[in-house]
């Protein structure tokens, strides 16, 4: 299995602004998943993008995948205080188990 590397490690924005966080990985993947974790809680699956997809939307979330650069980005539009959380990416290769990078800690200030 491989883990992604999220960037930046921490991001602080004002409510209503957009938040962008990035994930890089090293080897070819079948899919890449993004998860959110509120402090002291479990992870919540946000979105899965397959290797043959370039962009995917879910509500205020937009995920892109560039397999040539081995990178993905997660955009949260019109952020809210409730979006404050840690965000983890999980690149997944065939038959491998999901592992996570250090994550991006997003703080949305009211």
Partner 1 sequence: DTEVTQTPKHLVMGMTNKKSLKCEQHMGHRAMYWYKQKAKKPPELMFVYSYEKLSINESVPSRFSPECPNSSLLNLHLHALQPEDSALYLCASSQPRRTNEKLFFGSGTQLSVL
Given the rule CB under 8 A, which residues bind partner 1? 1, 3, 30-31, 33, 35, 40-45, 48, 50, 88, 92, 94-95, 97-103
Q: How far apart are CA 28 and CA 20, in angstroms?
A: 23
Nearest distance in Å: CB 64, partner 1: 18
Q: How far is the CB of 2 from partner 1 (least distance, A)?
A: 12
Name the one residue in this structure whose structure tokens are 């979006």. Answer: 83
With beta carbons less than 8 A apart as the criterion, state whether 23 and 37 touch: no
Q: Is 11 exposed, middle or buried (0-12, 13-18, 19+ CB in 10 A)?
A: middle
Nearer to partner 1, 49 or 108 (CB): 49
| Shortest CB 100 distance to partner 1, Å | 4
């Amino acid at each position: 299995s491989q883990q992604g590397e999220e960037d930046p490690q921490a991001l602080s924005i004002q409510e209503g602004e957009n938040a962008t966080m990035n994930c890089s990985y090293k080897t070819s993947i079948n899919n890449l998943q993004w998860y959110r974790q509120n402090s002291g809680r479990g992870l919540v699956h946000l979105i899965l993008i397959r290797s043959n997809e370039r962009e995917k939307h879910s509500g205020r979330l937009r995920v892109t995948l560039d397999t040539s650069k081995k990178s993905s980005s997660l955009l949260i539009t019109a952020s809210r205080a409730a979006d404050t959380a840690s965000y983890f990416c999980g690149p997944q290769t065939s038959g491998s188990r999901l592992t996570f990078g250090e994550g991006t800690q997003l703080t949305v200030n009211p």
